[in-house]
Structure 1
Amino acid sequence: MPQLTLPGFDMPPPVPEHRFFFAAMPDPATAACIAAMAEGLRSGKPGESRVLPTEHLHVTLYTLGDFAYVPGATIARACAAADRIDVPSFGVTFDRLVSFNGRPDHRPLVLTGSAGLEMLIDFQQQLRNALGKAGLRFSGARFTPHMALLYGERRPDQYNIDPITWTVREFVLIHSWLRRTHYDVIGRWPLTNRSASV
């Protein structure tokens, strides 16, 4: 028998707890270098900056969405689409730090690039097209490759750094537990080695 609710006392919608997204992650050595740089950029005042854990550093390629429950069918379609991606490994270069908008005490400082990201942009487009053909929601938002390093007070709008370069050899599907700062990599897809470059 269905449970009845009184007028004006409808149950609120369930709160999303799960986020799923495809990402490119730096290799461990590069991630360690980026994390050390981020640590050096944080404010010296306790609690004013939060640096992301080294193992969480990533470039988001496509977000499937936020969900109250694990969407098994959506994950299956996304994985099937990822299985069809056939792209050689490629190099990326990041050489700029930018402060994005956000809450006054929670502004992300991100790593991005002025050049050297064309192949990453092209790869993201191929992934997005494959996911769209699989029947997943299609986002028309412009893709701006970036990697969040820390959250805290606002920094100068933009400044250049020595280039950070690595080869993208795989992409992953990440399950992020919202409000828990916990990531699980639930799928990995290696890129081919036909023309790996840095």
Structure 2
Amino acid sequence: MNIRGYRVGVPAMKHSPIVLHRLLFAVRPPLTLARQIEQSAIWFRPGATRVRADNLHITLEIFEDHPTFPERLAEVLMEAGKAVAAEPVEIVLDQVSGSKRSVALRPRRRIPALDQLYKAIALEVKRAGLTPRPDYSFSPHVTVLYRDGAPFTQAIDPIRWTADELVLVHSLVGRTRHDVLGRWRLRGSRQYALL
């Protein structure tokens, strides 16, 4: 296996929960801010499961789940990530909204630079001949917890950061674990690989 030491096709241990492998492009808040978000009581509800600070992110593009690590897909996405050309993005999340199953931070207004980053990624994914997950539609948000409850929306004091790094994440669905496979600085031209 060539991508960051992952072993491909390793069978699951007996009685272990089913784990799916998901790859996605994302931007993430700085860890200090992510820890503040994780610990905030403003949107926390009893019985909820918080998303760990190091898993907080805004998904930009996402791909189908796989029963084993999709090595070839990861290699192609690493090349696509290198080719993305975009400027750093000022993220402003000033609303918290709850669905029946989760609570997320969202922007009340469109963030044009984030839309441009999404389009730049989509372009490189298309050039690579890949198809994103068909049921995904770009709607910027940071999921902060999972819970059962009634839908709601409320304004909050803005949470801000400058996203200056694009990441390719390997999510182990079922284990709530995110591993970063690649990082690229957002510099407005062909990206500089950090990993």
Residue 117 of structure 1 is matched in structure 2 by 111
124, 141, 157: which is aligned to 1:130? 124
Residue 142 of structure 1 is matched in structure 2 by 137
- Segments of structure 1 that go 5 or more residues without pairing to the other structure are 1-14, 102-106
Residue 176 (str. 1) matches residue 155 (str. 2): no
Contact 2:22 2:63 in 1 (8 A): yes
- 1:126 is paired with a residue of what secondary structure? helix
Name the CA shift for 1:142/1:177 in 2 (closer, same or farther; >3 Å): closer
If the length of structure 1 is used for normalisation, what is the TM-score? 0.79
The amino acid of 1:169's aligned partner reads D
- In structure 2, what is the Cα distance between the partners aligned to 1:100 and 1:114? 16
Quote the sequence identity (%). Answer: 27
Residue 22 of structure 1 is matched in structure 2 by 25
| Bigger Rg over Cα | 1
- 2:73 is paired with a residue of what secondary structure? helix
- In structure 1, what is the Cα distance between the partners aligned to 2:37 and 2:150? 18
- In structure 2, what is the Cα distance between the partners aligned to 1:80 and 1:29? 29
37, 40, 43: which is aligned to 1:41? 43
Shift of 1:33: 2.2
31, 34, 44: which is aligned to 2:34? 31
Name which of structure 1's ranges 152-161 and 163-172 shifts more when overlaid on structure 2: 152-161
The amino acid of 1:59's aligned partner reads I
Name the CA shift for 1:128/1:16 in 2 (closer, same or farther; >3 Å): farther
Residue 89 (str. 1) matches residue 88 (str. 2): yes
Residue 157 of structure 2 is matched in structure 1 by 162
- What RMSD in Å do the two structures reach over aligned CA positions? 2.0
The amino acid of 2:120's aligned partner reads Q
Runs of 4+ in structure 1 displaced over 3 angstroms? 138-142
Contact 1:16 1:66 in 2 (8 A): no
The amino acid of 1:180's aligned partner reads R
If the length of structure 2 is used for normalisation, what is the TM-score? 0.80
Contact 2:20 2:67 in 1 (8 A): yes
